[in-house]
Amino acid sequence: MRGLQLIGNLDGLLVTVPHKIAVCALVDHVSPAVAVSGSANALRREPDGSWSAANFDGTGFVAGLVHRGHDPAGRTVAVVGAGGAGSAIAVALLEAGVGGLRVCDRDPARLAALRDRVAERWPRPVVFSDEPDLRGADLVVNATPLGLRETDELPFSLDDLAPHAVVADIIMTPRDTELLALAAARGHRVHHGIHMLRHQIPAYLQFFGFGDALSARS
């Protein structure tokens, strides 16, 4: 990262796993979303040579939900995975006004760090645990990498889900992960990972200074 920052004609970059959390310590300025989530997926060089970090995973995910008719406002949501994307999604869901939020991750240090940052901004309790509690959830989100490979185990069991629960995955390829295929077979509505990316693109363009081009196309 330090080497990339020295390249004179590099004005920005997109960050993906497993670097979204680590890059936050290497920039000069962070957006509010990065400050709370501890994760970044876009870096921009400023005119003075400093670097700014932003994260659009969460807002893109929520915008995708709303667009597909799954507005999370007032709903009980469970997020499985508190890594780079999962943390950003959890923060965006709180911003969107969910009725209740549960965050699960098997890494106790990562879970504790997110809990401390969230507590500073949202006084109402968010349930953090090392095992998923999906009972009564209206929306369940897989924010782990489980599902990228055919040999992966399921990120969580569907047995405790309410019949009306929506099952979402942030994995884009394959489109129909084993989790989503199984959920659909059981009658659950499903939400595919590609929607998170599609609804980040306008924010990316604005962040990197291409807002005029976006307006011209609309």
Give the separation between CA 177 and CA 154, rounded to whole angstroms: 9
Phi, psi of 85 (to 5 degrees): -75, -40
Number of residues that this document lists for the chain = 218
Q: Looking at the chain, which runs of residues are DSSP E strands?
A: 12-14, 29-30, 42-45, 51-54, 76-80, 100-104, 127-129, 139-142, 166-169, 189-191
Q: Which of 15, 20, 96, 132 is catalytic?
A: 20
User: How does strand 139-142 pair with strand 76-80?
Assistant: parallel
Give the residue from 99, 84, 68, 98 showing the smallest Cα distance to 166. 68
Tell me how far apart the alpha carbons of residues 116 and 113 are, in angstroms, rounded to a whole number: 5
Amino acid making up residue 75 = R
Give the separation between CA 173 and CA 215, rounded to whole angstroms: 30
Annotated catalytic residue 20: yes
Residues involved in catalysis: 20
